[in-house]
Chain A
Amino acid sequence: MSRILEVENLRVDIPLESGTLHAVRDISFHVDKGETLCIVGESGCGKSLTSLALMGLLPTKAIRTANRLTLGGRDLGTLNETQMADIRGSRMAMIFQEPMTSLNPAYTIGNQLAEAMLRHRKVNPNEARERAIYLLEKVGITAAASRLGQYPHQLSGGLRQRVMIAMALMCGPDLILADEPTTALDVTIQAQILHLLANLQKEFEMGLVLITHDLGIVARVAHRVAVMYAGQIVEEGTVEDIFRRPMHPYTQGLLRCIPIPGKTARGAHLGSIPGMVPSLIGDLKGCAFANRCPHAFSDCNTTDVALREASGGQRYRCLLSQEAAEQNAREAATA
């Protein structure tokens, strides 16, 4: 399988008055062709900033560093803004959370769809239009040709997100970054959009990085999962491994928060993770999750924890041995 995206030790630092905010701390992952990687975590864990960092769309104050950042073998770390712009929308495209505000109200759908293609590919407006109609039909929009002349405010949220997806596909990118693409939509529409994304990804054999806090979504579409906590990846593995055998106490906690129909008793309390995420300003000492971890012991507060590999390639950032972690996982599942 060919690697599309490789990220090694990506950091995003934001200098603030009260100190430097280390929003993303040395995260490493990769995405293969035709693979969906889900990045999971609660708000503020750095998952959105990670996607913006990959796109080169971070706020001006934020500083990005990485040991390795390649897209299809091309080093993104050394590119200047203009070269980066050549890649954005062409080799790598992004779908945002807010379909209601992510389209420019002043221009027609057709105009905004064609734009990226006219910028990156040597096509004339007619060819771009053809492609736009083709993709609108692909994303399940009827009467595609007539939609081209419509303005964003004339479309519903679900339709707009379909347009955003079509827009991302215009240049046939190798990689799609989707940052909570369904969060702002109605539940019924959410499923449709997810299906659509998964199907398109299969059909066009793209890499997909799907950022979400919804484990239900993860279970349905992911091939591999990276769980983020406080700017770090705390666990990473195949979707089967993560759901069957979560090694990190945080992942175990997250999984306990999902109600399972038929299994979770009516009126029973859903799991919750007590405590608060530590401040991301300044350096962390020990494990970031230690203060909330049910299995924490004294070393957790002092020893820096590296990702360790469990059998099967699953990686987790915890001092507990594989056996102890598996034992915890079993207990968590039955609790």
Chain B
Amino acid sequence: MLVYTGKRLVLALLVAFTISVLSFSLLFLAGDPAAAIAGETATDQEIERIRTMFGFDRPIWLQYLEWVGRAIQGDFGRSYYFGMPVTELILSRIPVTLTLAGSAMAFALILGIPMGVIAALYPNSIIDRVALTIAVCGQALPSFWFALMLIVLFGFMIPILPPSGSESWQHFIMPTVVLGYYATPSLMRLTRTGMLEVLSADYIRTARAKGLFPRTVLFKHALRNAVIPVVSVAAVEFGFMLGGSIVIETVFALHGTGYLAWESIRRADFPTVQALILVFSLFYVVLTFVSDLLNAWLDPRIRVA
């Protein structure tokens, strides 16, 4: 277990390092940041002035080291547009995004796992078919469009939910549904496949041969093994949700990190964009790391090697 954790940790750190290089260099490779900041109407002198002011004229590796050195200490510089420390800016927006992604994940799990279990218990039944249809449709539904349709429906036609903003918990209902619905199909399918596979396993027959109650067989013996792969996918989906929050937060004007990303991209606010890419990626790295550990904890074959 310790060796396993150690290996995963080294991998996570390597990935984090690579991502930091990528997220830093991305913006330099993509164009001239000084020109982008100065705007389209700027003269050459103005661009030059900005270049020296922000230190873009120094070698890239030096800039990177400086950036990463400060990033480790939690300092991502100042936002050009918002005029405040990027770290502070992001921290102020994180709660909204985490609330959104967390509730969306809960929504997806609460919907996806039971649907998958029921579909697996009655394969090819009407319930199974309905669940599969929902899954197929869910994968084809563009989230931003689904969001707009919900806004039209529940924000205006039957006005029971606030269409935009992030002041109260009601503001989170529609975004949660939209973001959560997107992850539901894969979780459902995975639960269904896992359950189908596990239910035909020999140890389920053993459990039944012991005369255990059906609920014990189902929940203790079957579900426990079927959810192991679901856990890792749920972690991955959680990471995707953070990315997906850019679209959803923009549509619903939820002032989280996703909305911040969109704002800072539109305003060429480099320090913020760089920091956000790194933060989002690190979040994903941490999530997969945690899910690996969770997996090992759930699966004694990894845990007790």
Direct contact, A vs B (beta carbon within 8 Å): yes
B-side contacts of A154, CB under 8 Å: 304
- A94 located at the interface, meaning its Cβ lies under 8 Å from any Cβ of chain B in the complex: yes
A81 to B208, CA, bound (A): 11
Contact A151 B213 (CB under 8 A): no
Within 8 A of B (CB), among A96-127: 96, 98, 101-108, 115-116, 119-120
Contact A93 B209 (CB under 8 A): yes
Contact B206 A86 (CB under 8 A): no
Contact A88 B207 (CB under 8 A): no
CB distance from A249 to the nearest CB of B (A): 35
Within 8 A of B (CB), among A259-292: none
A-side contacts of B202, CB under 8 Å: 96, 98, 101-102
- B139 located at the interface, meaning its Cβ lies under 8 Å from any Cβ of chain A in the complex: no
Which residue of B212, B220, B300 is within 8 Å of A89 (Cβ)? B212
Query: 20 A-B pairs, CB-CB below 8 angstroms?
Result: A55-B209, A85-B208, A85-B214, A86-B211, A89-B210, A93-B209, A96-B205, A96-B209, A103-B206, A105-B300, A106-B221, A106-B224, A106-B300, A115-B207, A115-B216, A116-B210, A119-B216, A153-B304, A154-B304, A167-B210
Contact A103 B203 (CB under 8 A): yes
Within 8 A of A (CB), among B213-238: 213-214, 216, 220-221, 224-225
Residue of B nearest to A116 (CB): B210
Closest 8 CB pairs of A and B: A88-B211, A89-B211, A89-B210, A116-B210, A101-B202, A151-B300, A104-B203, A102-B202
CB distance from A184 to the nearest CB of B (A): 11
- B298 located at the interface, meaning its Cβ lies under 8 Å from any Cβ of chain A in the complex: yes
CB distance from A181 to the nearest CB of B (A): 13
Which residue of B205, B206, B210, B301 is within 8 Å of A119 (Cβ)? B210
- B201 located at the interface, meaning its Cβ lies under 8 Å from any Cβ of chain A in the complex: yes
Given contacts A151-B301, A151-B304, A153-B300, contact A102 B203 (CB under 8 A): yes
A259 to B83, CA, bound (A): 92
A90 to B213, CA, bound (A): 13
- B299 located at the interface, meaning its Cβ lies under 8 Å from any Cβ of chain A in the complex: yes
- A324 located at the interface, meaning its Cβ lies under 8 Å from any Cβ of chain B in the complex: no
Contact A87 B224 (CB under 8 A): no
Interface 0/1 of A122-145, CB less than 8 Å to B: 000000000000000000000000
Given contacts A102-B202, A103-B206, A105-B203, contact A119 B299 (CB under 8 A): no
Interface 0/1 of B242-253, CB less than 8 Å to A: 000000000000
Contact A102 B206 (CB under 8 A): yes
A150 to B207, CA, bound (A): 18
Which residue of B206, B208, B220, B301 is within 8 Å of A153 (Cβ)? B301
Which residues of B does A touch, CB under 8 Å?
201-203, 205-214, 216, 220-221, 224-225, 298-301, 304
A-side contacts of B212, CB under 8 Å: 85, 89, 115-116, 119
Contact A119 B209 (CB under 8 A): no
Contact B298 A106 (CB under 8 A): yes
- A191 located at the interface, meaning its Cβ lies under 8 Å from any Cβ of chain B in the complex: no
Within 8 A of B (CB), among A3-38: none
Given contacts A57-B205, A96-B205, A119-B216, contact A105 B301 (CB under 8 A): yes
Q: Of residues B210, B213, B214, which shows the largest number of chain A Cβ atoms within 10 Å of its Cβ?
A: B210
Interface 0/1 of A66-105, CB less than 8 Å to B: 0000000000000001001111111001101010011111
A115 to B225, CA, bound (A): 17
Given contacts A57-B205, A96-B202, A98-B202, contact A105 B211 (CB under 8 A): no
A90 to B210, CA, bound (A): 7
Given contacts A104-B203, A105-B299, A105-B301, contact A57 B209 (CB under 8 A): yes
Which residue of B209, B210, B213, B225 is within 8 Å of A106 (Cβ)? B225
CB distance from B213 to the nearest CB of A (A): 7
Contact A88 B208 (CB under 8 A): yes
A196 to B208, CA, bound (A): 24
B-side contacts of A81, CB under 8 Å: 214
Contact B213 A101 (CB under 8 A): no
CB distance from A303 to the nearest CB of B (A): 40
B-side contacts of A150, CB under 8 Å: 304
A81 to B215, CA, bound (A): 13
CB distance from A149 to the nearest CB of B (A): 9
B-side contacts of A86, CB under 8 Å: 211
Residue of A nearest to B228 (CB): A106
A87 to B216, CA, bound (A): 16
A103 to B211, CA, bound (A): 15
